Structures are given as structure tokens and as C-alpha cells.
Structure 1
Amino acid sequence: MASLDDAAALASALPEVAEGTRYGHRTWVVGKKAFAWERPFSKADLKRYGDEVPPTGPILAVAVADLGEKEAVLAAGDDAFFTIPHFDGYAAVLVQLDRVSREALQAALEDGWAACAPTALVAAYQAR
């Protein structure tokens, strides 16, 4: 189980990350690319759930390298990771923070960071 503050601490610990806001929500960027952001459900998102109960608690969106990686993350079976129609065709997954382990969240944030960071920065980080 993780919180938004846990996500902030993990994301901010990665090299050259800046925290800011985008559309009024906390966002973490490397270079000029956002790799993680707070993503509450919009009214349209909630409407799409119909009679189904949507995931609760804070939701974080995390970038992935491509749609193939997105499918792999979703197929891995950790029910803390999911997507919604708004994210169809977009290389990012959603994370239900109150269901994700700290280890899985850290791995997702590192992968999202690596998908958005400059190649040389990723190589230096991985070589440490």
C-alpha cells in the first residue's frame, strides 16, 4: 500500500526529476517530459464505469516505453495497475496507490522515468 507522498518521494529520488503541477495535479518530469502524474477520475471517466465501482483512493498515471510494455504491465496480473478508455492508445498505465506495493510502485516509476529520460542519463543511472 502506497500514498501519493510515497510516490512523490520515490519519483523525486530519481536523477534530474522536478516536481510541478499540470492541470492542477502533482506531476513529475525529467527533462521536459512528464513520466508520472496524479490522475483523479473525471466525471466522464466515472460515467464510463456505469454500474461498476471504479477504483478508489489516489490514482497515479505512469508512462511506459510503448503500447507493448503497457500490455505487458497489465497482463502481469497486479490488479493495482489498470487502464481506462481515456488512455487507449496512450503509453501509460494507471496505478491505484492504496493497492500497490512500494516495490511495484518504485519499479513502475523507474521504468516510466527511463521511458522519458534522455538516453545518456538512463545509461548513467543503470551503470551505477
Structure 2
Amino acid sequence: MARMAKPEDIDAICGALPQVEFGFSWGDRPTYKVPQGPKGRGFVLYRAPHQTAIDPDTGQPYADLLVIVVADAHVKAALVEDPSVPFFTIPHFDGYNAVLVQESRLGEMDRDHLEEILLEAWAARAPKRLVREFFAAR
């Protein structure tokens, strides 16, 4: 039986990928970046509560949003339109290849699926040679 995802799986999965660094982007936002160092590009970002993403049930900004990079608009559409996973988007992210998910809803999907999505996010931002070497070794 598949194990459902948990918020702590984000760190375990991202931290196990090659050349990943946990740092900050957009000023003070915790972000997983690849590769390590000044050329690192974010692929998972903990988004600050903002008026562009309001919980329809409470009318308040979401407090636990993750932004996860995706490979392209087709992948984004597939995740957002799939009712079996808790991903969504907002107008603020129109034209940007990323999806949003509340940490509190990660348990609605299995860990293996989350790992696949995070691996694809990493691959979308990692140097191409690193991606080739990683997949060749698997």
C-alpha cells in the first residue's frame, strides 16, 4: 500500500537530489535550489501569504503554500486539472511554469507521486549535464 505524502517529505526528497541547496529567494523565502552556489535556481519555494492566493473557505491568504516548478505548460495543466491531486494555480502564476499546493493537503497524494513531481521540478532547473548523469545512474 502506498504511503501518503507528508510535509517533511519535501525536505527528504529535495535534500537527497544532487547539488541541491536549501537557501532563500525573493528576499526571505525558503527555497530549494539547484545547483549549489550563486547560480542556483529555485525549484520549490515556500510562498509567503499574499492577497493573490486566498482560501475561499476562510477569505484569508493561504499560510502554507508551496510553489513547485514544472517542466512546461502541459505538465502544469495536467496537474491542475487532475482531481486526484491537490495542485492548483492562480492568475498571478499565469504564464509561469509552476503549480501551487498547500502543505496541509500533501497527504491527499502518495509519497511516490510527490517524489516524481519534485524530481521533475529539480530536472527542470538543474544543469542539463547533471540531469543526464543523474538519470543515467538510476
- Pairwise mapping of residues 48-87 of structure 1 onto structure 2 (< 5 A)? 52-53=56-57, 58-87=64-93
Once the two structures are superposed, residues 51-82 of structure 1 have per-residue CA deviations (whole angstroms, 9 ceiling, x without a partner) of: x2268562211101111211122223234111
TM-score normalised per structure 1:
0.83
Instruction: Please state if 1:25 is matched with 2:44.
Output: no
Q: TM-score, normalised by structure 2?
A: 0.78
- Alignment partners' CA distance in 1, 2:121 and 2:82: 16
Q: How many residues align?
A: 123
Secondary structure of the residue that 1:68 maps to in structure 2?
A: helix
Equivalent AA in structure 2 for residue 34 of structure 1? G
Residue 84 of structure 1: how far off its partner (Å): 1.1
Equivalent residue in structure 1 for 2:10, among 7, 26, 39: 7
Residue pair 1:80, 1:99 contacting (<8 A) in 2 also: yes
Aligned equivalents of 1:96 and 1:78: distance in 2?
14
Residues 57 and 98, structure 1, Cα contact 8 Å, conserved in 2: no
Give the deviation of 1:93 after TM superposition. Answer: 0.4
Runs of 4+ in 1 over 6 A off after TM superposition: none
Q: What amino acid is aligned across from residue 32 of structure 2 in structure 1? A: W
Rounded to whole Å, the distance in 1 between the matches of 2:117 and 2:104 is 15
Two-structure CA RMSD over aligned residues (Å) = 2.1
